[in-house]
Amino acid sequence: MRITELQTLDLRFPTSLSLDGSDAMNPDPDYSAAYVVLKTDAGLEGHGLTFTIGRGNDLVCAAIQLLRPQVVGHALAEFTEDMGGFYRHITSDSQLRWLGPEKGVMHLATAAVINAVWDLWARSQGKPLWKLVVDMTPEELVRCVDFRYLTDALTPEEALEHLRRMAPGKPEREAQLLREGYPAYTTSVGWLGYPDEKIRRLCRQALHQGFTAFKLKVGRSLEDDVRRCRIVREEIGWERHLMVDANQVWDVPQALAWVRQLLPYRPLWVEEPTSPDDILGHLALQKALQGSGTQVATGEHVQNRVVFKQLLQSGAIGFCQIDATRVGGVNENLAILLMAAKFGVPVCPHAGGVGLCEYVQHLSAIDYIAVSGALENRYLEYVDHLHEHFVEPVVLQQARYRLPQRPGYSAEIWPASRQAYRYPDGDYWKSRLGG
Amino acid sequence: MRITELQTLDLRFPTSLSLDGSDAMNPDPDYSAAYVVLKTDAGLEGHGLTFTIGRGNDLVCAAIQLLRPQVVGHALAEFTEDMGGFYRHITSDSQLRWLGPEKGVMHLATAAVINAVWDLWARSQGKPLWKLVVDMTPEELVRCVDFRYLTDALTPEEALEHLRRMAPGKPEREAQLLREGYPAYTTSVGWLGYPDEKIRRLCRQALHQGFTAFKLKVGRSLEDDVRRCRIVREEIGWERHLMVDANQVWDVPQALAWVRQLLPYRPLWVEEPTSPDDILGHLALQKALQGSGTQVATGEHVQNRVVFKQLLQSGAIGFCQIDATRVGGVNENLAILLMAAKFGVPVCPHAGGVGLCEYVQHLSAIDYIAVSGALENRYLEYVDHLHEHFVEPVVLQQARYRLPQRPGYSAEIWPASRQAYRYPDGDYWKSRLGG
């Protein structure tokens, strides 16, 4: 099977019209997907996407097109027989590497292409992506990872040894996840801008749906944050989890002062307290919070495995929040899962946006079944946005993700949605912008 | 004066046709500039650029156009009366920020725009950029910096106090630099791919030109590197400086093993031993090399002030290699100069490429006259490429940069060169690609 064409689509959903998704750093996101379709001479397609929040989604589509020579004309088997080499291949055009390396627009583009290739591979094998990966031998899984820049923290040999130890328990864990699903937390109760009464109402709804963990956006007004934390605790009690998320608005000293005021409400984690580039800043906060019951979490803006490596090896984070499209797709996320397992840090993926829940459910399933073997303190983010546009939307039952069953990586968007939300010439945008 | 138009040009120079500029990571760079012209209603223009090495330069131009609404229609005075606020303004479009933040393609674009605004400001004041900045009061200079994410390492108050201490010596240091120039080192002797005899010949030429510091590219073959280091030492003796540059090819353990083999040749620094994102990796290497006389250097790929902050505050680097266009232009480089001064690390800018020598001569002058007040162990990179395309090319005398005298930031490229090397429709490329 040969890849014969790479198409990109700039899809934007007008989420800024409501306050859903607003936080202290991002007041008006239009959830968007730089969307890739790989066509093959076998008729099969691979679909992939990267998530952005609006302006600049065109730039990511243009960056994806720059990767076209890396993919089009190649046989799928060239890639799948050495997936670690495939990652290196995609990220090693030296002129394009200069624009990163492995960060920002080029790396978002890399993620979309890599995810599309994995989707194609999984479809060609007739398996959902998580199943394709958990069925790999330890040797096969390790070969999917490019260990460049990682070997001071994790060698291929260590990874292999770890996976071999985990292998015997895989069938049992897989059966358990198929039976029970993967635990989720909800971010939908506490976007900035929601009035207090709405927060109470949404907490009650979420409790009714079975959620046991609830995240609140913070960082705009300390007084508001204290009141909102109190409200959530009043609604959910003290047996369930509250998390808070500042979306990078603080400097390190300010973060510590602010979070201390929220400690009486016992947040499980404080998410993105400062710049995602500040490994030492996160480490300082994590140390200062030691013993408080609250730990530092970050990841949705962490650019690549090298930064995750440092956050993990230094003990700077208590929760590792991988993102399916910020780093270089499935390959780099496997590297991060392996490092998190080595350093004993629970992985709680970032989701929401558009397509991120669809993606990370696979990664969390891989983490539990094949890599960490643990569910303790692991929750997968859930936000109830835009799932209706997906051919295989996530399914939540009793606040647990049901494992996806269709072949592929679950990010295919319905043709009608692609037609409507293509920017700026899809039906929705034409009527809005032309009106 | 109001900015009325922002034009971008994709300029590419065919440097890959020779082996000039080749290193272990970048075998075939086409030195390129994503070039910006700001037009004003006063007739004055501001020119700025970002350096890339070929493919993807179009992407950076497109990213610059996304910043257009941040600039066009604004009065220059709106920006110059609060340059720190201007930096925040340019980098704070929340939807575009998602694509970074402050890294990769969007940040390269930010640099070009910010540098163009500084060029316009300096021209409007009739001063070269370095003079505009060193004539500022400490208060004015501090106001050019956005301290977001820095205050755990450097507060505005500390910066102010430092600059006040340095202020009395400014006139004397300015007179000295005007008289003597700023010391340079040469990278032209040792690109990868040069035969040994060429290295010898170039060393002799450079010695004759007065150079006292010589950089060699390493990292492809240890055996070759040992031989090449020996050759350079044979030519330059032991009183002058040798530096080595690996352009990120090693993992941390490999870097240490390799560099240990080069220590007998007493390199002053080992540059880019590993991923520019690996703060803790650089720190481990710097610690391991303690007492050897060789220190770790990096910076040309360090994405922003937050990563520089950590490299400096942790003691991970012995030399701080700022780049004029990788981080967000003059503003962010002022922040880095201030932090380097606080932590006592010499700043030795990255240059070469196209326009980088023209840019960083200003930054090193600012560093000496207004910020660090020191020349010890400071050398400005010099590469003899492409200067003929600039209206005010750098002037080297006895291996020292003469301070630029024309108003502005020295990055204006001759209209004829812009016409010839515009990609893909300039005269050069039309004839090469069409032929």
Note the pLDDT tens digit of each residue in B238-281.
999 999 999 999 999 999 999 999 999 999 999 999 999 999 99
Say yes or no for a CB contact (<8 Å) between B94 and A254.
no
B350 is known as an active-site residue: yes
B217 is known as an active-site residue: yes
Half-sphere exposure of B194 (CA within 13 A, CB side): 26
> Which of A105, A192, A248, A301 is the mutation pick for testing B, counting most B CBs within 10 A?
A105
Residues of chain A whose pLDDT is less than 70? Answer: 19-20, 435
DSSP state of B2: B
At B16 the pLDDT is 85
Determine contact: B309 vs chain A, CB below 8 A: yes
Beta-carbon contacts of residue B426 (< 8 Å; ≥ 6 apart)? B11, B418, B419, B420
Determine contact: B263 vs chain A, CB below 8 A: no
Among candidate residues B217, B241, B282, B385, the one labeled active-site is B217
Which residues face A32 on adjacent strands? A12, A52
Contacts of A52 in chain B (CB under 8 A): 95, 98-99
Res B220 pLDDT > 90 = yes
Mean pLDDT of B414-428: 97
Element (H, E) at A124: helix A104-124
- Between B28 and A418, name the one with better pLDDT: A418
Beta-carbon contacts of residue B420 (< 8 Å; ≥ 6 apart)? B426, B427, B428
Among candidate residues A217, A282, A309, A385, the one labeled active-site is A217
Determine contact: B303 vs chain A, CB below 8 A: yes
At A16 the pLDDT is 85
Q: Quote the CA–CA distance of A142 and A156 in Å, as a whole number.
A: 7
Structure tokens at B349: 């800018």
Structure tokens at B256: 């240490």
Say yes or no for a CB contact (<8 Å) between A103 and B303.
yes
Contacts of B306 in chain A (CB under 8 A): 275, 277-278
Determine contact: B14 vs chain A, CB below 8 A: no
At A193 the pLDDT is 81
Please say whether the beta carbons of B267 and B244 come within 8 A.
Answer: yes
Taking alpha carbons only, the member of A338, A377, A386, A331 closest to residue A18 is A386
ipTM: 0.97
Say yes or no for a CB contact (<8 Å) between A99 and B52.
yes
DSSP string over B394-405: --EETTEEPPP-
Which residue among B25, B59, B307 places its CB closest to the CB of A59?
Answer: B59
Antiparallel, parallel or unpaired: β A45-52 and A32-40: antiparallel
* Size (chain B), residues: 435
What domains are defined for chain B?
165-415 (3.20.20.120)
Determine contact: B155 vs chain A, CB below 8 A: no
Note the pLDDT tens digit of each residue in B198-212.
999 999 999 999 999
Note the pLDDT tens digit of each residue in A140-195.
999 999 999 999 999 999 999 999 999 999 999 999 999 999 999 999 888 888 89
Contacts of A27 in chain B (CB under 8 A): 94
pLDDT-derived band at B18, boundaries 50, 70, 90: confident
Nearest CA in chain B to A314: B280
Say yes or no for a CB contact (<8 Å) between B97 and A59.
no
Say yes or no for a CB contact (<8 Å) between B279 and A280.
yes
Structure tokens at A341: 């397992």
Say yes or no for a CB contact (<8 Å) between B103 and A99.
no
At A433 the pLDDT is 86
Note the pLDDT tens digit of each residue in B298-325.
999 999 999 999 999 999 999 999 999 9
Q: Quote the CA–CA distance of A329 and A392 in Å, as a whole number.
A: 19
Contacts of B284 in chain A (CB under 8 A): 152
- Integer angstrom CA distances of residue A36 from A8, A389, B137, B178: 5, 15, 52, 56
Which residue among A29, A53, A306 places its CB closest to the CB of B277?
Answer: A306
Q: Quote the CA–CA distance of B43 and B406 in Å, as a whole number.
A: 17
At B23 the pLDDT is 82
Determine contact: B157 vs chain A, CB below 8 A: no
Chain A segment 338-357 residues within 8 A of B by beta carbon are none
The mean pLDDT of chain B is 97
